[in-house]
Each structure stands twice: as structure tokens, then as C-alpha cells.
Amino acid sequence: MMQYCIIFLFQLLSLTEASESGIVSGKVAKAHSRPYMVSLQVRGGHVCGGILIRKDFVLTSAHCKMSEDIMTVVLGAQNITKKEKSQQSIPVAKFYQNPNFTGQFHYDIMLLKLKTNATLNRYVKVIGLPKKDGKIPANIKCSVAGWGRTGPETPGSDVLRETTVKMQFNSECKNKWGIYFSGDQMICTHTGRKKGGICQGDSGGPLICNTKPQGISAFTKNKNKNDNKGCDDPKYPHVFMKIHFFLPWIKTVMKG
């Protein structure tokens, strides 16, 4: 059985070889071109990404919840190490992990209720969720973004980075990840050393296809001492929670 561990940039939580999801390769995103992007922070340190789906709710990964530490949502950021005038920092009032999440791979999705509403402007905007299950064929180009690591052994990025990825066949994801991959609630993408993809610190960030978020970054391969490859290993697809699968639960929580 493959071993795995979920690794945050801020804190290490050893579980089982898959790693939670920085953007490998890619490029620096145009400042504020993704106004829905969120940096989840604990004591000033970036731990995960997320997306603003309502002025009082953020969608991210369930494994991003860290014990009893106070988590802050930073909106409108380009460089998360600076106090930019565009930024809004709002404490999380309540965590809604999916009730079926067990701390590992499946049902790895979470809603964050903000203590106060975000102020929507040119730097901070809500992104709409997919209304129907528009199945995305393999090899269709989508995009990912985040402040995570740019390689298995590099630190997280100060500025938001992005890259283009291609959708992978579910059968290939199942072949590589076995029991850890569920075609009902997950989708996955090709990875390669040239184009790259997600890595540690990008968990909770979006997979955008045709302007809509279709997935939430979940896990990649962790670095293996035998082959010295990790999230940049082209043999292992990067996995995302399928947002559409969770829409009924999301709507129920947000109706509150």
C-alpha cells in the first residue's frame, strides 16, 4: 500500500505517499486578475488556498483546518508577505468540514463562514459555482493558481502564480491512485515538469475550466526518497475534489 502524508507550508501533519496540494513552473499571475482567490493563514503564515463563493463564505479543502488555531482569510492579495492596500483580512467564524471527511482523501472539502462580510470591489470578487455537471473531457485545458511551493524542495511563493493544466482520464487516475481516487467525487489533471501544476501550499485552491471552478486542489504525490520526485512527478496525476458532486451539501450549509 502506498504511503502518504499531508504537508502544510506552515505546519506538518503526518497521516499516511500523497501530498496535499504550490504551483510548479507556470508564471506569476497578473496582479488581481483572480479576485476570488483566498489565502488561508494561521498566525500570519499561509497554509492553504481557497475561493470566495459568497461575500461571507469561502470554499477550500477540509484538511486545511488546523486544530484550534485562529484562521484568517486574506482577500485581494497578490503578494501575501506584504500589507497591500487591496487586502482584506477577515477571521473565520465557523468551519464546516464535510461530515463524511475522515481526515484522509475522500470528502476533502470545507466551507468557511467569515466573521464579517467581505467588501466586494475590483480586488475582491465572488466566483460563481458550476450549476450543472458539465463533464470535462480529457485533455481539455484548465488553469490552477496559488501561493504554494514551486517545486518539491522549494519554499512557497510570495506572489500568486498560475499555470495551465490538462484534464486526465478518470481511468488513468484510478490506475495510479487506486482506492484513494473516487471518480464520483474527484477529477484529476496531467502533470509535467514543463507546465507543472499544484504542489504543497496550494490545497483548497481552484481548478478553473471555462471560467468556472470545477475542482478544489486536494492531493499530489509526495516526494519519494527513492526517486527524488514529488508533486512534479509526471507519472502521478494531480487530484481535485469535484465541486459539482458537493453542490447539494454546499447549498444546504450556506442556507444555514
CB 200 within 8 A of CB 256: no
Among 63, 106, 238, 244, the active-site one is: 63
Per-residue CA distances from 231 to 6, 28, 111, 180, 252 (Å):
12, 19, 25, 16, 34
Altogether, the residues listed in the chain come to a count of 256
Complete DSSP assignment for 38-64 = EEEEETTEEEEEEEEEETTEEEE-GGG
Neighbours of 158 (CB within 10 A): 14
**Residues whose CB is less than 8 angstroms from the CB of residue 100 and which lie 6 or more positions away in sequence, other chains included:** 106, 107
Q: What angle do CA 39, 7, 116 make, to 5 degrees?
A: 25
- Give the torsion sign (CA, 108, 109, 114, 118): positive
Among 19, 21, 157, 203, the active-site one is: 203
Integer Cα distance of 232 and 13 in angstroms: 21
Among 19, 46, 106, 108, the active-site one is: 108
**Catalytic residue check, 203:** yes
CB 80 within 8 A of CB 39: yes
**Catalytic residue check, 63:** yes
**Catalytic residue check, 108:** yes
Q: State the catalytic residues.
A: 63, 108, 203
